[in-house]
Structure 1
Amino acid sequence: MPSCPRLIRPCRPRWRSPRAGDHRHRRTFQGARGPSGHASTSTAEWFDADTLNGTGRPKAAAKLIVRSVSGIRLNEAQDAIAKATGHRDWHDLASAPMEANGQVDDQAAIACVIAVSDALGIGTGAVQYALTKSRVLTGMTLERSLSIQARAWRERLFGAGGRGRPGTVVRVRSPGENQPGYLLRQGRPTYVMLDGGVGMRADFEVKTPRQALADFVPSRLWLPYGFWTLADGAVVTFSRDYMPMWRSANDGTERMDPWLRIEDIMSKTHFSTQAGTVDWAGGRAREMALAHLDERRITCLPRLVDVMGEMLAPFVETVGDAVARLRGATAEAA
């Protein structure tokens, strides 16, 4: 593997998807609906050769989890994935024949992500990335990844919403503004996580609707603001807060820790500047940012999304504060 001196500190291993195979297998998740549309009482309908590739893709997913989360052994990750995909253990996954089937639906995908997360005691973001990158979850698009992550947050991070409860999707109404946001801290002022970032509002400008609003992943945490071109030709995509999200080169694209320092930058490109607008998260700038991801076939979410849990902590007022907490938690677990 070629080294990458002085480009990214620390230099991280490159992740590659496993090669496809020819095995035909099939399983499903407990509680998911199978291809017939009926609720499945077993866990044996959704996984086929295109999803599992025998043990190839589950093994690749387990390796990704081990690389990205300290303290997880490979056999633990393998067993967690095996059980989440409807098997007794890893041996059962490797030996049980299954029929062919189509892509995993959203309900089954969420069930799998949460099951692995609970079994290993780690965040849903790392699990979803591993299962998507390895193609255990097939047919994934960026839109599906965002939807699954938002629903996983509600299940495992926020819980049920309600007046004054952090994580509730509230309606923010102020002069010239009417948009949803996550309640971070109620008070004077009240802190909310809007699509474009953290905002402070008067308490009377933040309303808890009677009917729950849809969960979402704020653009601030996943939508590119621009990219750096490095001396070796690699491209590092960065967020609105100038935090690295993706590194793309001839050998593929890898997810990056948002606190890494990027060196040997030769040029910097902003989508909003190219679009001639100050609205970085909408209109033409958003279209260009999405095209940038599509060109690199990025359908996963960056690690920056994992800071959402830290946003709920006391005294966190910016995305940068949350990233610092995530970095500290990562170092402590190492």
Structure 2
Amino acid sequence: MSDSKIYLCSVGSNDEINALQQVAVDNFAAAAVQIVTIKSDTAVSTPIFDVATLEIGGLTYPDPNLIAKAFAKYFIDQPQVTILFSADRYNDSIAARVGAALGVNTITDVEQLTNEANGITVLKKAYSGALKQKVTLPSAQTTVLTINGGSTDVPSGDSTGVVTKVMVDVVPQLPAQATYKVLENDGEANLADAERVVAGGRGLKDAENFKSLYQLATQLDAAVGASRPAVDADWVGTAAMIGQSGKSIAPQVYFAFGISGTIQHITGIEQAKYIIAVNNDAAAPIFKMADYGIVGDAKTVIQELIEKTAK
């Protein structure tokens, strides 16, 4: 078993902390484990490990550069540690900065983690999800990991962790002028949790045609997603992007309108229960994994579905 101390790092919700605690319970039962969070101590409602809450002076918004500096400063004098974050695009960006600041290995989007006698073995996707890559990390080194999955339920064990505050002095290095866009919840269905998703791609041709997806989504009580070409064309925001560079989703039903189905997109929808594809190219790769396929114009099919599902 690895002798490395395990640190569970979070800048998010208590659910994220619970998921990391469950990973620790399942894989590091005999190891020394500690939670390190940027949130206030009230966010860690059920700690079964001790908690260090990093207090960063002047932190007025979740700046990943400043937060990563705080984590790196906390860990700079800690030898042979394993640093775990939950995997998402924001945490991956922080983990990469922490790893770079410490000069250590960083592996993101780990799917499976095994604690073995010679170190920690991780399994992750490689070549856009076409293969799985196994990496064994020696215990005598510091490593930063982000891991997918983990139950968000309160892990088994006594909630006896002690919460302490740690002041971390870091200096922000911002440009002379900067503009920050605040993203607000607009009331649409959450893409990650939706049971039904309707998504559009390059085959919808333009932004006006893409707008019809929102009407269909309303009638189907679905969330709206997109392939990367639709996002790059500025028909929809990056929050809707599905695939290797966006979100991985697992809806009951996934509608793909005008999406060719490159491997980068497929990696984000492979957990969908049913895939319904509409594309005017009968040879489009999306049809190889679709449960139902329609060879035809995506815009026309969307309009027909809007008419048939109208209340």
Question: Which range, TM-score by smaller chain?
Answer: under 0.3
- Taking structure 1 as the reference length, the TM-score comes to 0.26
Q: Which has the higher strand share?
A: 2
Q: Which has the higher helix share?
A: 1
- Taking structure 2 as the reference length, the TM-score comes to 0.27
